[in-house]
Amino acid sequence: MNQQELWNKKFSRDGYLYGTNPNQFIKNTSANFKKDQTALCLGEGEGRNAIFLAKEGFDVEAIDASDIGLNKLFEQSQIENVEIKTNCMDINHWQPSKKYGTILFSYLHLKIDELKNLIKKIESALEENGFFVCEVFSKNQIERNSGGPKDLELLYSMDDFKDNIKELKIHKLEEVITTLEEGTGHQGEACVIRLIAQKSKF
């Protein structure tokens, strides 16, 4: 099953799997982002982070493998009266062709080699002083039932980011226990890794 088939199956149910509210960490971090630069949401699914940023006045682009997820994003963007440019593709096939002020994702599930390659692309695609922000499930999430894959290869340690971020200044990298209330897909106490990194001169 490829990424589109996997996520189309998840997003084909009624309603929004992870709700329509943005990831709380991304919401709390967004005050740092520059509104005169484009924000890119990777693996954006049904659009909750992209729509939040668009409502806040950002120019937003979103990429996801699921056409069903992006159709839901479009439907919700019409309700919210915002415009978001979308691109339906496997995130591993993304090749940056422009610069972004912010690149973010919440709960991408990639193998470590795929994550390494994605980080390289993010570093090259960020504007000077641009931000890379994400929240992902930790390997310590494996025993919890609040969300995330039951596959250690798709969960992360802080070293997975620390060892592979070469061109960004890390402002925050932490593993925390939080309580998720994100639709039916993420509910309950969870162990997550949070990152804020910036492309700036050291």
Strands, sheet with 126-137, edge to edge from the N-terminal-most edge strand: 85-88, 60-64, 39-42, 100-106, 126-137, 186-198, 169-182
Q: Give the total residue count for the chain.
A: 202
**Any residues with CB less than 8 A from the CB of 51 and at least 6 apart, and which?**
20, 22, 73, 76, 77, 80, 82, 84
CB 47 within 8 A of CB 22: no
The string of pLDDT tens digits covering residues 43-89 is: 999 999 999 999 999 999 999 999 999 999 999 999 999 999 999 99
pTM, to two decimals: 0.96
pLDDT per residue rounded down to tens, the chain (202 residues): 788 988 889 889 888 999 999 999 999 999 999 999 999 999 999 999 999 999 999 999 999 999 999 999 999 999 999 999 999 999 999 999 999 999 999 999 999 999 999 999 999 999 999 999 999 999 999 999 999 999 999 999 999 999 999 999 999 999 999 999 999 999 999 999 999 999 986 5
Residue 189, Cβ neighbours under 10 Å: how many? 12
End-to-end CA distance of the chain: 43
CA atoms of 84 and 174, how far apart (whole Å): 30
Placement of tokens 């949401």 in the chain: 41
Q: Which fold has domain 3-198?
A: Rossmann fold (3.40.50)
Return the domain boundaries, the chain: 3-198
